[in-house]
Amino acid sequence: MLRYTALAGASLAMPAVVRGQESIFDMVNRGNVLRNVDKDSNTAAAEALIATNEPILSFDTAYNLQLAISQYEPFVANGGWEEIPQEAFRLLIGKSGASVIALKRRLISSGDMLLVPNINDLFDEDTDRGVRTFQARHGLIVNGQVDEPTWYALNVPASTRLQQLYLNFTRVQNMAANLTDRYVVVNIPAATIEAVAGGMVEQRHTAVVGRVDRATPILASKIHQINFNPYWHVPKSLVERDLTKYMLENPNYLAEQNIFIYDGNGNTIDPATIDWNNIGNAVNYMYRQEPGAANSMGHCKINFFNPHDVYLHDTPSKALFGENARFHSSGCVRVEGVNQLVNWLLRDNGDWDQTRVDTTFESLERLDVQLKAQVPIHTTYITAWANRQGTVSFRDDVYEFDAQGKVIFES
């Protein structure tokens, strides 16, 4: 890193020498280079760097974090990387200028680009690959453009990243000794899920987790049941915070969402008879959404023991999985590709396979299945980790636990 930064600095001091006067040949060659860029290949290469099968919670990761710390400490002591200017915002392949030189220096200093003898001012294929590598390591949409999330991530100081490595080494080290052979991890800052067996990640899933004001709790528990095509009983907290507001805005909201109201005796209540301005009156009833395409839990709910009434579940809102910041829920965790995770959880039940899981989803049959072997689940908070390839990943401190220096969490 230090060697990269020194050479990058020398290049920045001589932009005119590097660029010089372009000939017609230079301009034609530049056009050919940019036309031949294989962006898909660059994305695949970037994603391959983070796709190793070490679990985030493991002694392997703790060891890899130690190695990362040993590399970052001298680099930070020497001043770390430089900020990139605001002019670098929205740079992408084909652009040129002094801000591209600054971007390349930044990418070289963090190892996302290879060291080159001279740094020119063209956003070329190597720069595209470097930006995509940086985005993959930071859990951002891999598009090769210095968009807003990428620009902000590029300008996080190296000293902040080193502090994340310290904190997360301690977190991983503390938890690794308590892990079993088979378990599920929800990493909240990354909004991802790992299904682990035999010390290897067998499945990874994109997730949507709790927003800051309705955080997903950190806990250790056991998954014990799958509810296929469940009813959704609207929690009292959501009736108070959200549902009453929606009904005041749109009196047909419940009908449109296929939600029915019941009193304590199981009798159906007409929404028109409820005073939605009186929250105390509205919360006295039970609200149940029927199974179907609009059901907030989609085709399944994955239950684990906890006092917070949270669970993993499917969702009809698939588009959220494609966002950079997936912090939208009220504490529960939505799972992309949940049918595959359900099949993995039911592997000890004997009579379940992927075809049966998918068929049951599609049938809308209400079915509850107890796991013959309960699977441990850990919802945790890891904002930095490293794999055996030497790739270091970082995530934003969404709940500000890094800022508080927290390494031990109540479960």
pLDDT on residue 92: 95
Residue with tokens 């088979």: 182
Distance CA 239, CA 225 (A): 26
φ, ψ for residue 408 (rounded to 5)? -125, 130
For residue 6, the model assigns a pLDDT of: 37
Q: What is the pLDDT of residue 37?
A: 81
Q: What is the pLDDT of residues 70-95, one digit of tens each?
A: 999 999 999 999 999 999 999 999 99
> What pLDDT score does 13 carry?
34
Check residue 179 and give its pLDDT: 94
Record the pTM.
Answer: 0.86
378 included as an active-site residue: no
What does the pLDDT read at residue 34? 66
Q: What is residue 213's predicted lDDT score, i.e. its pLDDT?
A: 94
10-residue mean pLDDT series, the chain (411 residues): 36 34 51 74 94 94 97 96 95 95 96 91 95 98 97 97 98 93 98 97 98 96 97 87 91 92 92 90 91 88 96 94 93 97 96 97 95 97 96 97 91 58
Cα 368 off chain centre by: 29
Residue whose C-alpha is closest to residue 50's, from 192, 197, 188, 157: 192
Fold of domain 2-52+59-160: Muramoyl-pentapeptide Carboxypeptidase; domain 1 (1.10.101)
| pLDDT (0 to 100) of residue 17 | 32
Based on the residue annotation, tell me whether 224 is a catalytic residue of this protein. Answer: no
Q: What is the pLDDT of residue 294?
A: 81
Fold of domain 179-230+295-386: L,D-transpeptidase catalytic domain-like (2.40.440)
Q: What is the pLDDT of residue 8?
A: 37
